[in-house]
Amino acid sequence: MKIQYRIYDSITISHFQPLKPGSFISECKKFELQISTSTEGKAGTTISPKLIWRESTRPDVGFSIDFLEITLDQKPEGNGFQILQQGYQSWSLTKKMKPEEQDLSPRLSFLQYSQENIYSGEKGKAGLFLSEYFLLAYNKENKNGILYASWDRGDFGIKFDIHLTQTGEVEYVSAIYDIYCLPDIRPNAKLSISKIKIESFVGSPEEKLSKYFKHLGTELKAPAFPKKVPTGWCSWYYYYTKIDQKIILDNLAKVRELNLPVEFFQIDDGYQKEIGDWLVPNEKFPGGMRILADEIKRVGLKPGIWLAPFLVRKKSEFFRKYPEAILKDEKGKPVPAIYQPLWGLDATYALDITHPTSLAYLEKVFSTIVKEWGYPYLKLDFLFAGLLPGETYKKNLSPQARYMEAMQMIRKVVGKNTFLLGCGAPILPSVGFFDGMRISCDVAPFWHPEKLRTFLKDRNALCTETALINDLTRASMHRNLWLNDPDCLLVRKKRNKMTEAQTKLMASVMAVSGGMLLVSDDLTKLEMERLQLLKKAFQLNSECQGYTPVPLGIFEEDFPPALYNPSGYLGIWNSTEQTKTVQVPLPPGLKPKEPFLDFWTGTRIDCSLSEKKDLLSVELPAFGSAVISV
């Protein structure tokens, strides 16, 4: 166990030594770590750590703490374990990892800090993994596993470090708290840290995950979710930033003409004059944004709008007027948050969201958009920027704490009746602030990652395949933490490299998940057969919305082969390029009966059940999918 701190650029790592039962003292004598442990039988073990500053005076000028690492003694016995590695934010990949695999971040630094936890360095060796917020280790042969998880939420981020040997034995596990600030520590005062839960279990890892998410939602006071989940249209995945007032109005008219069962109409990126100047529409929107909101309401829909509140570009009026409110590094240079070629070839920077000027501006932006323009649905994007390292105005707030403080202010300004959708957002600190949350990277009009992204070893690279993996592995967050946003459905033929089978597979996963469903095509050019697919997807989604789904086989394949929705639907798919017999481990208690009819075609599907009726098998063609009533 150890703590890392610094005085300006001088870094010290101090290990803890036993002082007395449940108490440890750092080698530098500055810190005492107290760990209390309680065991509740089948409910597992709860670890409650506290950090105490043991010097008689306050820390020196320039002092800050980087991280605290605590060794966890409880480990599963035996070989054959894999892990489910949880990603840091919306776009970070969550999937099973085998002992022989490596935990590798993208090669380019800007991809690392815009997609992953910048405070987590890659391991780069087989069997060494970092998992954010929770870690699930599982032996699929013996069907036993263990969950290590943040059981509440303190001011500091948490991740779990694990080493699997070549044979799948758990060699060690530790919890690492991302502090990265100078907390308000006083002599002999205890600094409370989030609790850790360790639960051994036998049986379904998917059910264990779902129960954990339910606990988190209750503990962190997630809002009550309506039975009806947002459906709608979004401008992004056909037009990207090339939208204008006419495009928006043409698609709005088409939504009504086609009688699509949607509730929201979302104007995405491209309306603003500059990133950071959210209240100034560009010349393509001469009537302003309030008029569009009124027009959307006039046809019976709810207007939605996109913004990236923690980002700013150098050309913006805000950047020029208020340079003091921009997050800067130790050399006084603005901290880059992302490179987005659609905005320009230079960097886009992060706000210091603890600075009074930034907070006052954010308050004005949100108040104007909701109360004056009349948008009751806001998509907040690139939220990871609020946690990037830099010299902040409030130095006593950790990255996680400053993010939560800013989100608390935003929620207060917009009110509880405004639907907030998060994107590019850290998972655990976002619970309780959002109604909906993107749980995957961006979809795309192609299935596999682009070759350049593969060369750059970008495991989070946007593409439909990667997005759907997260939609499945994180499916049980739906209605426990928020309403899941699996990203937009693309059904068009033109400007779409996906095959018809891949498009149908995409629709199957998104519809059965019961999460938000927004289409992002040019509705004025949508082919008739694809329109029918879209309408059936909305129909299926409407039947699945009110339930929390359970993915099946998360330790069988990188792309889990099935998703069960308690509404009575089971989605099954073959995500490979060859015909394959897909075997689905059925959830406990589910006893499906024949005949099996496919929702999409109404035809019979030739499925077979194991003798115990706990395993369903079906042969599917390449990228084939079926949704059956069970």
CA-only gyration radius of the chain, Å: 25
The amino acid that residue 505 corresponds to is L
Secondary structure element (H or E) that encloses residue 258, with its range: none
Q: Which position among 155, 352, 381, 485 bears the catalytic label?
A: 381
| Three-class secondary structure assignment of 60-97 | CCCEEEEEEEEEECCCCCCCCCEEEECCCECCCCCEEE
Six token digits for residue 418: 């405004």
With H, G, I as helix, E, B as strand and everything else as coil, classify residue 449.
coil
Answer yes or no: 442 catalytic.
yes
Six token digits for residue 136: 């699930």
Nearest C-alpha neighbor of 145 from the set 213, 101, 95, 82 = 82
Six token digits for residue 481: 């933490």
Residue 29: exposure state from Cβ atoms within 10 A (0-12, 13-18, ≥19): exposed
Q: Which position among 268, 269, 277, 442 bears the catalytic label?
A: 442
What separation in angstroms does the CA of 260 have from each of 403, 500, 621?
37, 21, 31
Q: Rounded CA gap, 90 and 116, in Å?
A: 9
End-to-end CA distance of the chain: give it in Å, rounded.
50
Cross-strand pairs, 582: 618
Six token digits for residue 343: 């905005």
Pairing of the two strands 377-380 and 419-422? parallel
Q: Rounded CA gap, 349 and 338, in Å?
A: 7
Secondary structure element (H or E) that encloses residue 216, with its range: helix 205-219
Answer yes or no: 152 catalytic.
no
CB atoms within 10 A of CB 187: 11
Active site residues: 381, 442
